[in-house]
Amino acid sequence: MEWLQKEFALDARRRGFHLVTREILGHLPELREFEVGLLHLFIQHTSASLTINENADPDVRGDLERYFNQYVPEDAPYFVHTLEGSDDMPAHIKSTILGNSLSIPIGRGALRLGVWQGIYLCEHRNDGGSRRLIATITGKKYSA
């Protein structure tokens, strides 16, 4: 059993749901060395999240953004944590709902995502900046 852990940053993005599968794979060329295993991704932020969803139709990403903005509105009168702007507390709530980590199976040197699945960075702040991730891979490498 082999272990690998890397930290890297994703490019800064505007608020919304962003397909980042290729960017993440670009930081993890070692993934190709694993015959079988598991990739665990953890985002080190409380106002952004990770999820897996539709990788083909960008309307899904827009619909998710619109839904969450209606479901968790800015400027709700009951929010107390408002010092960092009207998008801050809603960002924390959205991050809690969607989560801060993913576990994805690895097989034959690739992620075993479904045909229509991709990894999303869910940016919940208007100006969130780059986002730090920790990737941990565990598994069996190909024999030499």
Q: What's the pLDDT at 88? A: 96
pLDDT, residue 31, reads 98
> For residues 108 and 102, what is the distance between their CA atoms, to the nearest angstrom?
19
| Residue 111: both structure tokens together | 């992620």
Contact 103, 38 (CB under 8 A): yes
**Do residues 138 and 1 make contact, with C-beta atoms less than 8 angstroms apart?**
yes
In the chain, which residues have pLDDT < 50?
none
**Domain 2-141 CATH class label:** mainly beta
pLDDT at residue 144, rounded to an integer: 72
Domain ranges of the chain: 2-141
